[in-house]
Amino acid sequence: MNSDLEPVEGIGLEGEGQMRWAPIVGPATTSFVRRSVEGGFSETAAASVVGEAREILGNCVDPHLSAQQSALLAVGRVQSGKTLSFTTVTTLARDNGFGVVILLTGTTGNLKAQSEDRLRRDLQLGVLKAHATWTHMSNPSIANKLAVDQAVAAWRAFKNGQKPKKQPTLVITVLKHHQRLSALAEVMSQVALVDIPVLVIDDEADQATLNTKAASNLKKG
C-alpha cells in the first residue's frame, strides 16, 4: 500500500481535498487494507477508502500539537461503506498517535452489535496477536476505571519514551443511550487524558448526535 496517497473525492467535507495536517499510512492501516484486499476488496477501492479516511482524519485535530478540540461532519450516501470508512479512520488514528478511539455505535442494541461484530472482524480483536495493537472495551462504566487507567497510562509511557514498544490503542464502543453515555462520561472524567489524543466517531450522527458546541457554550455562559 502506497503511503503517499492523496485525498480523493467521494465524501462531503467542507473544503474538500484540503487537510489541516497530513496523516501517515502506517502499520495498522496497511495491515487492515492488506487483509481487505486479500478478502476480495479491489486495490483501487482500497486506495480510495484510505484517501478518504486520510482526508477525514486530516481535518480533525493534529494529535502532535497542544491540546485542542474540533468537530467534523462527513456525509456519505446510504450504504456507502461507512463502516469500512470509520474502521480505516480508526487504524489511521492509531498510526498517527491517537491513544483512545471512542465509537458511538448507534441508538439500538442491534446496531451496536452489528458495528462491534464488524469491528472485531476487521481489527481482528479476538486474535491474540491483535492485543499488541488494540484494547477493546464495550460500554465501560466506573467499574472499569482501573482498566481504562492502565490502558491510558501505558500509552502515555510510550508517548513519553518510557516504553520503547508502541502500546495498544484503547478502542471503546458505546451505545448511544443517555445512561451509557453518562456512564462513559463518568469514567473518562476521572481518567487523566489531557496529554492523550482522543478521537470520537459518531456512527449515527443523524440520530440524536452530541452537542459539539457544549464546551464553548459552557465557557461563554
For residue 160 the three cell numbers come to 513519553
pLDDT band at 95 (very low <50, low <70, confident <90, very high): very high
Whole-number Å distance between alpha carbons of 143 and 154: 19
Whole-number Å distance between alpha carbons of 183 and 165: 31
pLDDT band at 82 (very low <50, low <70, confident <90, very high): confident
Quick: pLDDT tens for 106-126: 788 888 888 888 888 999 987
Helix and strand numbers, DSSP H then E, in the chain = 7, 4
Say which residues have a Cβ less than 8 Å from residue 41's Cβ, sequence separation at least 6: none
For residue 72 the three cell numbers come to 467534523
Quick: pLDDT tens for 41-55: 889 989 999 999 999
